Structure 1
Amino acid sequence: MPASEKPRLAGADGLRHSVLGGDLVFLLARANALTLATANAALAEHGLKARSYSVLALAADDARPTQRELAEFLRLDPSQVVALIDDLERRRLVERRTDPADRRANVLVATDEGRALFRRASESARAVELGLLAAVTPEEHERLAQILRLLAFPG
């Protein structure tokens, strides 16, 4: 049947069964977009978005990252990281401190207020995760996490 004579894929259900339904790059991008939108909505009550939550999480976890390390790890432009840190610092959630290993660099450390906010926000983030993955079993959830770690941290 010529392409011009094929029946139309009706609405979202038809599109779901299009060629993109089996395209992993598209599926990962769509899952990311849906997850990000849902997470940002849940984190808004804490005055955070996914990016600022990620920075706060690393600071609250005592990773003590430098701005350069944050930019590389989060795959963000360094200027974006500076803006995120500036906002969190203005809100007294994080502090820049001199890196004892390299006095020319600063590391990021969460304040007590930042740690408290992170604990509350992480509950919201976890609720988003559980909601988005409600259709999968705990075993599938863990396997998905394993696969995503392999993709996110190759090598």
Structure 2
Amino acid sequence: MPPTGRTRPTGTAGLRDSVLGGDLSFLLARANALTLAAANAALSQHGLKARSYSILALAADGVRPTQRELADFLRLDPSQVVALVDELEERQLVERRTDPADRRANVLVATDAGRALFARARQSAHAVELGLLAAVTPKDHERLAELLRLLAFPS
């Protein structure tokens, strides 16, 4: 019997109710692991994973990011970004183009095939998100997104 005198639930329920189950950093990491696994499973039908999907999404959105901007924004090592962009480029989903504002840099632009694939993959990613957040009200979903933006992009 635990020192508190209460009977400890077994399995995941007992662990969920532990001190770690109330730790915000742990909860964020666990939620990330669960959503990442579900997203990767859904995106696999499109030949993508969360990281390559993220790069394709930014290229398809028309923001024309440089590889350095992608690395900073996605919190990836620049060499990881190069490998992901190389793969997307080999699949003719994105193109590197010279940045008109800085001819020494390249920006990433989605091809027509890349935009079409992104549209299909986005539907799959959105369906996963809705499934994972089924227990959350739409209002709480919006609030969660707002809070995560505050954490992800501190001013």
Alignment TM-score, normalising by the size of structure 2: 0.95
Question: In the TM superposition, what is the alpha-carbon distance from 1:54 to its structure 2 partner?
Answer: 0.2
- 1:152 corresponds in structure 2 to 152
Distance 1:6 1:138, change over 3 A: closer
3-state DSSP of counterpart to 2:98 = strand
CA distance in 1, matches of 2:100, 2:10: 61
CA distance in 1, matches of 2:9, 2:68: 47
Q: Which runs of 5+ in 2 are unaligned?
A: none
TM-align CA RMSD: 1.5
Q: Which runs of 5+ in 1 are unaligned?
A: none
CA distance in 2, matches of 1:133, 1:148: 14
Residue 117 of structure 1 aligns to which amino acid in structure 2? Answer: L
Question: In the TM superposition, what is the alpha-carbon distance from 1:21 to its structure 2 partner?
Answer: 1.2
Question: In the TM superposition, what is the alpha-carbon distance from 1:31 to its structure 2 partner?
Answer: 0.0
Residue 71 of structure 2 aligns to which amino acid in structure 1? Answer: A
- 2:69 corresponds in structure 1 to 69
3-state DSSP of counterpart to 2:97 = strand
Give identity over the alignment, percent: 80
1:41-91 Cα distance to aligned partner (Å, 9 max, x none): 000000000000000000000010000000000000000000000000000
CA distance in 2, matches of 1:108, 1:73: 14
3-state DSSP of counterpart to 1:107 = strand
- 2:87 corresponds in structure 1 to 87
State the aligned residue count: 154
Residue 124 of structure 1 aligns to which amino acid in structure 2? Answer: S
CA distance in 1, matches of 2:18, 2:98: 53
Q: Following superposition, which runs of at least 4 residues in structure 1 exceed 4 angstroms of deviation?
A: 5-9
Distance 1:90 1:10, change over 3 A: same
CA distance in 1, matches of 2:77, 2:152: 18
CA distance in 1, matches of 2:87, 2:131: 29
- 1:40 corresponds in structure 2 to 40
Structural mapping, 1:1-155, within 5 Å: 9-155=9-155
Residue 32 of structure 1 aligns to which amino acid in structure 2? Answer: N
Residue 36 of structure 2 aligns to which amino acid in structure 1? Answer: L
